[in-house]
Amino acid sequence: MKDSDPTTEPIGQHLIKLISNLCFSVFVFSVLIITVIAITYQPPDPWLESTPALTKFFTSSENATFKNDESVVKTGEDLVSVLPPAISPALGNQITEEVIEKSEEVIANSTTLKLNCDELRGVNCSDPRILIAVERFNLKAFKSIAFLEYQSPVNGSKEDECDVSWRFRNKKEKSWRKYRDFRRFKFDVGEDCDYKVVHAGGWHSGINARRPRSAMNNRSRGGGSGRVAPPVRDEEINDTIPTLGSETNFRKGKYLYYSRGGDYCKGMNQYLWSFLCGLGEAMYLNRTFVMDLSVCLAGSYNPSNKDEEGKDFRFYFDFEHLKEVASIVEEGEFVRDWKKWDKGHKRKIPVRKVVSHKVTPMQLRKDKNTIIMRQFDAPEPENYWYRVCEGQAAKYIQRPWHAVWKSKRLMNIVTEISGRMDWDFDAVHVVRGEKAQNKELWPHLDSDTAPDAILEKLKGMVQPWRNLYIATNEPFYNYFDKLRSNFKVHLLDDFKELWGNTSEWYNETTLVNNGRPVEFDGYMRVAVDTEVFYRAKTRVETFYNLTKDCKDGINTC
């Protein structure tokens, strides 16, 4: 047997130790990297994961100051592609072809509804076959509409006409809100003894099928102007301020109270980003959020370019929906009950005041005080509400985007405009204003959004003589007149009567504003423009279709 070489054994052992140490070092280094990533990683808000472009839209900031495009308004119903089942109530039975066929089977099997064609000499609006004819016609005519329920047809103005009312929702709208339309239909009787729709009137043409005036509509409103609101009113809106009730209920509650910070009078996108941070923290802490309904509208939305205080949250957003999905209390109501308790009891309400956003929500999770009051007294940008949700807190606080929808009153205007174009229109979003003036950041925007340039671009994208809605911040109404040679052009100002002093919007917002008329301001215009644009069949964007300039300026594409 051959003897082993004693000089080789130490070399082998040394090599094994070297490899072992190297592997261990790699392992330790890997663990270190993973630990650092775990500590610093901030997962994206799950509400925004389905729309990464919108995430950038809201989070793109520089030195903690928002600098994003205010020409498009996004809220919760725009940000989520599919509503979570937990917050999606039943929309009722949608009228589909299958539902219509079942109704026809019931009629065919009913002895009382059997019809002798020889006896069918005219149109009988109470005949259930009339409603079936309307339902089938609407399904074919309005592909973007989900029909939810119909009212029984009533007589029109002529023997062969019937007026029909129904409730619906637009399939492109992510919310579950319902709207109403009523139209006049002209009928004929086919050879198979069925009713046929030979003509359908336009939006809200079936005036005999509209709802009767409510007692509120019968009295004059609007600051003593003597004008009466139109008979159609959305009575489903309930944006009254909730009350806490008894003193006992107040004392048993747990509240998160944000004092006014630097976000006040900033752009509406920053306002939403901050507001949802506070609301998200309240949900994380399982507390009721104390909400200030007073909104300061930034000067960028006003012709005077001056900030306007004293606006009401309910002018812009759906307060009823917010109350349904979040625990909130109005600030004035809350402060009154707080003072009332402290005045009537020797033992004051326990309050914890938090003076820095660096105190994280996680540190407040086990706090037992009735009120946690965050104060934002530091200079900007340290006094922005959304700073609370930065850093480590971003892993725990989820902004409840689903809680904020646009005002139903504004959406009624959107629905009216879309309905008047029979839900069959295309749209172009034309951004001009200050961006078109700034040749350093947007060198081609002005020329690329000139009427001739837009017309040439649209000729290859939109069929001639289609309804074309132009959503724009261009102040001169006649700027787009050249497009009228090829398209049926519609601008927001073509529908001024929808917010004029005889409109339902005017009367309802006046009531909310304690009898003072409300201006249809720049933010409302952008909100309506945005939603009408979303409902178009073909949508042409400024920065993706009309110009090669970057949306946020040079070298930001």
* Element at 220 (helix H, strand E): none
Within a domain: residue 198? yes
Residues 394 and 421 in one domain: no
Give residue 516's pLDDT.
Answer: 95
**Closest by Cα among 553, 540, 375 to 468:** 540
Within a domain: residue 452? yes
Residues 421 and 364 in one domain: no
Within a domain: residue 267? yes
Give residue 43's pLDDT.
Answer: 40
Which stretches of the chain drop beneath a pLDDT of 50?
1-2, 4, 6-7, 38-65, 81-91, 214-232
Beta-carbon contacts of 446 under 8 Å, excluding residues fewer than 6 positions away, are: 432, 436, 437, 439
Task: Give the chain's domain count.
Answer: 3
Residues 348 and 443 in one domain: no
Beta-carbon contacts of 521 under 8 Å, excluding residues fewer than 6 positions away, are: 297, 301, 302, 308, 311
Most distant CA pair in the chain, distance: 122
DSSP β-bridge partners for residue 291? 330
In the structure encoding, which two tokens stand for residue 297, read together? 């509208």
Within a domain: residue 71? no
Give residue 120's pLDDT.
Answer: 62
Amino acid at 31: V
At CB < 8 A and 24+ separation, what contacts does 97-101 make? 97/136, 97/139, 100/132, 100/135, 100/136, 100/139
Residues 341 and 427 in one domain: no
Residues 417 and 518 in one domain: yes
Within a domain: residue 227? no
Domain boundary among 360, 387, 403: 403
Give residue 358's pLDDT.
Answer: 94
Its domain, for residue 187, covers 97-209
Is residue 389 within 8 Å of residue 67, measured between CB atoms? no
Kindly report whether the peptide bond that precedes residue 381 is cis, defined as omega within 30 degrees of 0.
Answer: yes
Give residue 244's pLDDT.
Answer: 76
**Cβ neighbours, 10 Å, residue 202:** 13
Within a domain: residue 3? no
Residues 386 and 442 in one domain: no
Within a domain: residue 18? no
**Distance in angstroms (rounded) separating the CA atoms of residues 553 and 359:** 36
Residues 392 and 246 in one domain: yes
Beta-carbon contacts of 330 under 8 Å, excluding residues fewer than 6 positions away, are: 241, 242, 290, 291, 293
Residues 251 and 371 in one domain: yes
Cα Rg of the chain (Å, integer): 30
Give residue 70's pLDDT.
Answer: 67
Residues 102 and 204 in one domain: yes
**64-88 confidence digits (pLDDT tens):** 445 556 677 778 777 654 444 333 4
Residues 107 and 173 in one domain: yes
For residue 369, how far is the Cα from the chain centroid?
Answer: 35
Within a domain: residue 150? yes
Domain boundary among 403, 425, 448: 403
Residues 472 and 438 in one domain: yes
Residues 449 and 354 in one domain: no
